[in-house]
Amino acid sequence: MVNDFMDFGLEDWDEDDEDQVLYESEEFSKRYNFEVEKAEPLSTDDLPVLPLRGVVVYPMMWLPLPIGQRRSIRLVEDNLPENRMIALVTSKDENIERPSPEQIHTIGTAAQVHRVLRTPDGTIRLLVQGMERIRVVEYVQEQPYLRARVEVLPEIIEDDIKMEALMRAVQDLFRRLIDLEPQMPDELAVMAMNVENARQLAYLVASSLRLDVEEAQKLLEMDSVYEKLLRLTQLLNKEIEVLELGRKIQSEAQGEMERMQRDFFLREQLKAIQKELGEDDEQSADIRELEERIAAAQMPEEAEKEARRELDRMRRMPIQAAEYSVIKTYLDLMVSLPWQKTTPDNLDIEHARKVLDEDHYGLDEIKERILEFLAVRKLRAERKSDEGEEDLHDRIRREREGVVLCFVGPPGVGKTSLGISIARAMNRKFVRLALGGIRDEAEIRGFRRTYIGSMPGRIIQSLRRVESKNPVFMLDEVDKLGRDFRGDPSSALLEVLDPEQNREFRDHYLDVPFDLSQVMFITTANVLDTIPGPLQDRMEIIQLSSYTEDEKVKIAQGYLLPRQIRENGLRPEEVTMTEAALREIIQGYTREAGVRNMEREIGKVCRKIAAKIAAGTAPETTVVDAPDIYHYLGKRRYHGEEIAERVEIPGVAVGLAWTMTGGDIMFFEATRVPGEKGFTLTGQLGEVMKESAQAALSYVRSRARDLGIDPDFFKTSDIHLHIPAGAIPKDGPSAGITMATALASLLTGRRVRPDTGMTGEITLRGKVLPVGGIKEKVLAAARFGLTTVILPRHNEADLDDVPETVRERIHFVLVDTVDEVLQAALEEVPAEAVEPPALAAESSAPGRAG
């Protein structure tokens, strides 16, 4: 049987002149064109064992083997040329240089040595030919090299149609593999197709594949040739799949590279064409445009220096680079900011007064403050022109606004719309930024350019959008800023709202100072409690109070109704709404400090009228009176509080409260049950309110004898004090005198006067201390029909803020002690014994806090 099909990669053995030929067999000298049957018979007595590392030798396989270990060289010297047969067995661990018998596989290949060369570096190279599979039966020698008794392991060869089909499948797969693998010669495919012996085909394919040592050893140890071919089929399919995927990836990568090269060549050609035509390429056009815009932007020195530095980086950078677009975006922002763009102020005082009166009814204090601001700026401008040139320090101080207004008041009273009116009166642009829910400091200061997708803060973005350096900038809902691990936005606002610091405000994205001193900042809030003290210190607080019923009627007649008529496509002559109808809407359908819900209800009436007009069923003029409101808006949502009915039983008092939605009234109910010194408080009260209740009870107990109460009442009774609307949290000290009055009314049997409301903090000694929100509380009392209000004497000055029309309708009782409160609030004669009703769980208005 001819074996020259295994002769690949052996030509170097004849051409290496530096190698010294120690041995060469006759077969090899005849160009290894010989028959296997002519080889020496295989001796099974014992053979020298040469351990192999990282390689498995198959039968019928030619392989060059370099050896350098002393014991391997000794094996060659002792056995050649007399005995050319050696056992080649693979080590289990290729990292072990001198494996012991236990570290060598038991199945290997008996091979003939056909040539031995000694190289100049002292190593020996063998050319061996695999003959038969063998199993190591027993090692007979370990020193100076291994010798073992072996036995031949012949393969099982099935000669049937299944074997033939499997051989053809292996040949086809092997041919496909060679087509995909450029490093494998095409002659291998021809050899595989001409092989008729299944054993030869299996070893030819196995010796050509990239198999790891473990897989190659398993293949050698298989006894059945059919199983060998079946396993080779799996390995070939896997290798073909890997090569096809690699070729696909390479093809896609090559296509992408070719596309990029094509684009590059086309761009270069386009540049050459544009150069010939005297035109610029895209990059040159961008740089030239940015240079012109930087020169025209009138930036400060530091900002212009930074912009030109970035432009130089952009000029040296290829347009395909990712950093190129980042720099371009940054420079686009820099050149579009209003570094020196301002709008001229309209300092006409009468014009400003007219605009403010057109947009808002009342709010006299705020209007006067705006007019004062304009007057100061007008005087500065006029006297500067009379006195001549001024130095830089004076100019800077003149240009600074020096004021940050903070409008604080309940919703719907016109805080945001007032900012728009101020901008219109001053002929300035208006920008609004809602701060509610902002928790990230970077929303104010911006993100550093080191982050992907970074952008400037909302302050800089808004100024870029409005294109003016001196707009009216409204920061809405400043009391609703959040705070978490990302930072404290309210702290970032400290620099923005400080006229002495914001002249050099540094946004993290810009990283250059921007002058905010000419911006007129206006903030709005519902409450001051949640605004940090340092931030409050930078603002001028202006309180906006609730509207009275008369003011709401005037606002509806002059502003809300005309606007809703216009927005709903009606004409003024088509709708008329009487004052009684407006009061019915205010009393029965809205209960608020402002007029926002009132406008919604008026708009609903207008839409229903518009629907009738469109259907052709409405008269030329629709007059809406109080009885008609029910047909437009349905049943009333709010009914007048029956205060007299609620307080006809001793132990119930009416307190005045102030919330973020305006003033309101609260009922304090006390009852007495048999028990042992228990005092129960319900209604979801805060700690401060609970302490006030304890102080009120202690005071009443201390004055029991003077009030005509059994001094030992607490030993046999439990007291329960309840404030309805128990699902709404309530807190604050201003309910102290109300709780003391309710307890005193319960224990004395004297009812509280039904027309009386009260507010004030008490001490343990019975002193009445001042509280806040007097105007809102008095307006709430007037809204609910109370005619007497008990207030701390120290709050007398706060009554100046109450509208005169309300002051005329209410009798104010100013007190210093709780005794004075009880004298004014309780009836003289105890009421008859009445079975107390169940504690109420109703509320006069949602969202209330005591």
Checking if the pLDDT of 563 tops 80, the result is yes
Under 8 Å between Cβ of 416 and 533: no
**For position 604, what pLDDT does the model report?**
92
**For position 833, what pLDDT does the model report?**
44
361 and 503 both lie in a single domain? yes
**For position 289, what pLDDT does the model report?**
85
Give residue 260's pLDDT band: very low, low, confident or very high (50, 70, 90): confident
10 and 74 both lie in a single domain? yes
Under 8 Å between Cβ of 519 and 473: yes
User: By mean pLDDT, which of 50-59, 597-606, 635-644, 780-789 is the weakest?
Assistant: 635-644
Token pair in block for residue 86: 């050696």
DSSP state of 313: H
d(C-alpha 311, C-alpha 327), whole Å = 8
**For position 4, what pLDDT does the model report?**
35
Give the mean model confidence (pLDDT) for residues 64-74: 82
Residue 801 belongs to what domain range? 643-825
Beta bridge partners of 484: 487
In a domain? residue 577? yes
Give the mean model confidence (pLDDT) for residues 745-765: 90
d(C-alpha 797, C-alpha 772), whole Å = 12
Buried b (16+ CB within 10 A) or exposed e, 13-46: beeeeebeebbbbebbeeebebeeeebeeeeeeb
Residue 38 CB-half CA count within 13 A? 11
The contacts of residue 547 (CB under 8 Å, 6+ apart) are 362, 413, 555, 593, 594, 595
Beta bridge partners of 129: 62, 112
pTM of the complete model: 0.59
Active-site residue 844, yes or no? no
Give the mean model confidence (pLDDT) for residues 481-494: 79
In a domain? residue 265? no
648 and 627 both lie in a single domain? no
Question: Which DSSP helix (H) or strand (E) runs through 153?
Answer: none
What are the phi and psi torsion angles at 672 (to 5°)?
-125, 130
List own/partner pairs for 262-268 with CB under 8 A and 24 or more apart: none
In a domain? residue 483? yes
Question: Which DSSP helix (H) or strand (E) runs through 781?
Answer: helix 774-783
Checking if the pLDDT of 27 tops 60, the result is no
Domain boundary pick from 543, 575, 600: 543
Give the mean model confidence (pLDDT) for residues 48-76: 84
Nearest to 701, CA basis, from 679, 725, 668, 733:
679
Give residue 816's pLDDT band: very low, low, confident or very high (50, 70, 90): very high
Handedness of CA 705, 707, 712, 715 (dihedral sign): negative
Token pair in block for residue 395: 């100019």
Checking if the pLDDT of 409 tops 80, the result is yes
Q: Where are the beta strands (DSSP E) in 481-553?
A: 505-506, 513-514, 520-525, 540-543
Checking if the pLDDT of 268 tops 70, the result is yes
Give the mean model confidence (pLDDT) for residues 222-239: 84
Domain boundary pick from 131, 152, 173: 152
Check 545, 734, 745, 844 and give the catalytic one.
734
What are the phi and psi torsion angles at 47 (to 5°)?
-135, 150
**For position 742, what pLDDT does the model report?**
92
Q: Where are the beta strands (DSSP E) in 377-449?
A: 405-408, 430-434
Q: Where are the beta strands (DSSP E) in 600-687?
A: 622-624, 652-659, 662-674, 679-682
Q: Where are the beta strands (DSSP E) in 119-189?
A: 124-141, 146-152
**For position 829, what pLDDT does the model report?**
77
**For position 791, what pLDDT does the model report?**
94
381 and 514 both lie in a single domain? yes
**For position 19, what pLDDT does the model report?**
55
Residues 417-455: tens digit of each pLDDT: 888 888 888 889 999 988 887 888 888 888 888 888 888
Count of C-beta atoms within a 10 Å radius of residue 785: 15
d(C-alpha 529, C-alpha 659), whole Å = 11
675 and 582 both lie in a single domain? no
DSSP state of 241: H
**For position 537, what pLDDT does the model report?**
86
Of residues 837 and 634, which shows the higher confidence score? 634
Give Cα separations from 454 to 320, 326, 448, 508, 835 (angstroms).
20, 9, 6, 10, 70
**For position 402, what pLDDT does the model report?**
59
Under 8 Å between Cβ of 131 and 111: yes
Token pair in block for residue 586: 């205010």
Q: By three-state DSSP, how is residue 60 classified?
A: coil
Give the mean model confidence (pLDDT) for residues 130-157: 85
Checking if the pLDDT of 358 tops 80, the result is yes
In a domain? residue 185? no
Of residues 267 and 472, which shows the higher confidence score? 472
406 and 533 both lie in a single domain? yes
**For position 839, what pLDDT does the model report?**
36
Handedness of CA 58, 62, 65, 71 (dihedral sign): positive
Nearest to 623, CA basis, from 574, 567, 568, 560:
574
Give the mean model confidence (pLDDT) for residues 92-113: 85
For the chain, what is the radius of gyration of the CA atoms? 50
**For position 155, what pLDDT does the model report?**
84
**For position 28, what pLDDT does the model report?**
55
Check 228, 367, 552, 777 and give the catalytic one.
777
306 and 384 both lie in a single domain? no
In a domain? residue 668? yes
- DSSP states of 101-134: GGGB-SEEEEEEEEEEEE-TTS-EEEEEEEEEEE
Q: For the chain, what is the domain count?
A: 5
Domain boundary pick from 503, 521, 543: 543
Of residues 405 and 483, which shows the higher confidence score? 405
Give the mean model confidence (pLDDT) for residues 670-681: 84
The contacts of residue 400 (CB under 8 Å, 6+ apart) are 499, 503, 517, 518
Nearest to 373, CA basis, from 428, 436, 332:
428
Q: Where are the beta strands (DSSP E) in 332-478?
A: 405-408, 430-434, 472-476
Give the mean model confidence (pLDDT) for residues 271-276: 68
**For position 31, what pLDDT does the model report?**
44
Parallel, antiparallel or unpaired: strands 62-67 and 107-118: unpaired
624 and 741 both lie in a single domain? no
- DSSP states of 535-582: HHHTSEEEE-PPPPHHHHHHHIIIIIHHHHHHHTT--GGGEEE-HHHH
Give the mean model confidence (pLDDT) for residues 782-799: 89
Token pair in block for residue 565: 């008529």
Which residue, chain included where needed, has tokens 């005794």? 819
Under 8 Å between Cβ of 199 and 225: yes
The Cα angle at residue 716 between residues 715 and 722, in degrees rounded to 5: 95
Give residue 271's pLDDT band: very low, low, confident or very high (50, 70, 90): low
604 and 739 both lie in a single domain? no
Give residue 373's pLDDT band: very low, low, confident or very high (50, 70, 90): confident
The burial of 110, by beta-carbon neighbours within 10 Å (0-12 exposed, 13-18 middle, 19 or more buried), is given as buried
**For position 10, what pLDDT does the model report?**
45
686 and 790 both lie in a single domain? yes
Under 8 Å between Cβ of 818 and 766: yes
426 and 515 both lie in a single domain? yes
**For position 274, what pLDDT does the model report?**
62
Nearest to 785, CA basis, from 670, 668, 654:
654
416 and 486 both lie in a single domain? yes
d(C-alpha 539, C-alpha 535), whole Å = 7
The contacts of residue 342 (CB under 8 Å, 6+ apart) are 468, 469, 470, 518
Checking if the pLDDT of 694 tops 70, the result is yes
In a domain? residue 176? no
Checking if the pLDDT of 813 tops 90, the result is yes
DSSP state of 224: B
CATH assignment of the domain containing 473: 3.40.50.300
**% of the chain residues with pLDDT over 90:** 11
In a domain? residue 187? no
Active-site residue 491, yes or no? no
Of residues 319 and 469, which shows the higher confidence score? 469
**For position 775, what pLDDT does the model report?**
85
Checking if the pLDDT of 286 tops 70, the result is yes
Question: Which DSSP helix (H) or strand (E) runs through 40?
Answer: none
Highest mean pLDDT among 342-346, 396-400, 763-767: 763-767
The contacts of residue 246 (CB under 8 Å, 6+ apart) are none
| Intra-chain end-to-end CA distance of the chain, in Å | 110
Checking if the pLDDT of 339 tops 80, the result is yes
In a domain? residue 147? yes
Give Cα separations from 425 to 368, 421, 593 (angstroms).
13, 6, 26
Average pLDDT of the chain?
81
